[in-house]
A and B are shown apart, each in its own frame.
Chain A
Amino acid sequence: MAPRSCALCQKAKAMVKRPKTGQQICRDCFFYVFETEVHNTITQSKLFNPGDRVAIGASGGKDSTVLAYVMKTLNERYQYGLELFLLSIDEGITGYRDDSLETVKRNQQQYDMPLKILSYDELYGWTMDAIVSQVGRKNNCTFCGVFRRQALDRGAAMLNVDHIVTGHNADDIAETVLMNIMRGDIARLGRCTSICTQGEDTIRRSKPFKYAYEKEIVMYAYFKKLDYFSTECIYSPDAYRGHARVFLKDLEAARPSAIVDIIHSGEAFEIKEEIKATQKLQQTCQRCGYMSSNELCKACTLLEGLERGMANSGITDRGRKKMDSEGPAPDNLRTIPFFKVGSGSAAITVETPS
């Protein structure tokens, strides 16, 4: 096949076919349109204000590595006036997270950003390795997911940032829409396509890559030779998401616009007010002060189960009742430190690039 020239500059050889549009473009135009689309997402959704302190949730994987690079590039190019930080959560998974954190440490040097690493061990007194040795490999992703969400907020509070950005991409969001439809989870379906979420006393969280295809993120990382880590978590991947993912990749192969179409469908869902009214109100956890839809937040419930040797009790409401019937939590129970937004002092907790 004869080489085609770029549909945008008409000069260089086309090297990428954009999945969203089918457009065939050269490497430099690809960098430019990819970055510009993220910039447009950021400005149209008014994600940031000048002077904001923003933490990039960094795992060392492709999405967050590209996000850190693009955030730095755009912040300089368009003078957002942001102070950027890398925030990593160390789940304590030997042979997986320890290696990927090495990548984040290299990113810290390469991008010249302060890095904060917060570990499950430090926050909860349990590593994922220890949790898996208690609960086995069936429900461990529940613990990891609940603990990570709260750890990110707490790490952000320690950094005293206004905002957390994560590398969730268009494929991730489309998968989540499909999963919430299949599970009939109306509450999550209603909010999973929001670019930015903020509870009353939690830190703003947003997804600047909401419309960025995974294919383009990987191509971007490849062409820019970015340093990222790619190994599957050793404790069984999320099986349900895995099914949604395979299905979505098949759809994409048949019709590449399917991903962004699913996101648009998800955005168009309207949840009736009377349905919203039946959903649980947000409150604060009586034990640790973190946002919760019950008296105790999910992390405190799971931690109590682990500490009392009834690890699986924290997962379901029924297990919770059973644990309560065994008596109240002992007074000397290990708990999570009380949560307060903006309680940290960045000057002390941040490791600055050396």
Chain B
Amino acid sequence: MNTISIKIEFGGGLELLFENKRSYRVDIPSVVPTDNTTDAEANLADKETKDVDVDYLIHHMKDHMLKERVELFMEKNTVRPGILVLINDTDWELEGEGEYQLKNGDEVVFISTLHGG
């Protein structure tokens, strides 16, 4: 199975949901199920597949990295409104949001805007 390596960073307090660690490097498959299930990473034989995208990464984070309170991270199969996402330092709204196809070495930043100031 081919994998790619992605750098993930957290800001704005979101790191608190991920063991209070601000930076991660994760390896994820380059081809994944279209339904974003992350438990079948070994066996794709009977699944519809796609090239890995940010939507899949978010599901991977929820299933394998998130430690608490999923509702503060995800809502309706994407990140919760109020969480900013940057792909290689660019607003993900300019990159196709969840449909952006990840490449080896991409850096994805998640920043919560929900904390008081």
Contact = CB atoms under 8 A, between A and B. Distances in A.
B16 interface: yes
A250 B13 CA distance: 20
17 contacts: A4-B94, A13-B90, A15-B89, A62-B113, A215-B84, A217-B113, A217-B117, A218-B12, A222-B86, A222-B109, A222-B111, A230-B112, A230-B115, A231-B115, A232-B115, A245-B114, A249-B82
The list of the 5 closest CB pairs from A to B, nearest first, reads A61-B117, A63-B117, A249-B81, A230-B13, A17-B93
B81 A253 contact: yes
Contacts of A252: 81
Contact of B113 (A65, A167, A218, A233): A218
B93 to A, nearest CB: 4
A313 interface: no
Interface string A41-64: 000000000000000000101111
A253 B82 CA distance: 9
Given A64-B117, A231-B115, A15 B81 contact: no
Given A218-B12, A230-B115, 4 more contacts: A1-B95, A65-B117, A167-B117, A230-B13
Contacts of B82: 245, 249
A11 to B, nearest CB: 16
B68 to A, nearest CB: 13
A64 B82 CA distance: 18
Contacts of B100: 1
B98 interface: no
Contacts of B114: 245
Nearest to B88: A15
Interface in B103-117: 109, 111-117
B74 to A, nearest CB: 14
A13 B12 CA distance: 25
A177 to B, nearest CB: 18
A16 B111 CA distance: 14
Nearest to B80: A249
Contacts, number: 74
Interface size class of B (residues with CB under 8 A): 20 to 34
B96 A1 contact: yes
A303 B93 CA distance: 49
B116 A61 contact: yes
A14 B117 contact: no
Interface of B: 11-13, 16, 80-82, 84, 86, 89-91, 93-96, 100, 109, 111-117
B12 A230 contact: yes
Interface of A: 1, 4, 13-17, 24, 59, 61-65, 167, 169, 214-215, 217-219, 222-223, 228, 230-233, 237, 245-246, 249-250, 252-253
Contacts of A215: 84, 113
A16 B81 CA distance: 17
A59 B117 contact: yes
A61 B117 CA distance: 4
A208 B82 CA distance: 22
A215 B113 CA distance: 7
Most buried by B among A1, A59, A169, A233: A1
Nearest to B101: A1
A238 to B, nearest CB: 9
Contacts of B113: 62, 214-215, 217-218
A14 B93 CA distance: 11
Given A64-B117, A250-B81, A16 B91 contact: yes
A222 B114 CA distance: 15
A33 to B, nearest CB: 14
A232 to B, nearest CB: 6
Contacts of A231: 13, 16, 115
B79 to A, nearest CB: 10
Nearest to B82: A249
Contact of A232 (B80, B111, B116): B116
From A167, A218, A222, name the one whose CB has the most chain B CB atoms within 10 angstroms: A218
A219 B84 contact: yes
Contact of B116 (A15, A16, A222, A233): A233
Given A62-B12, A231-B13, A232-B13, A218 B94 contact: no
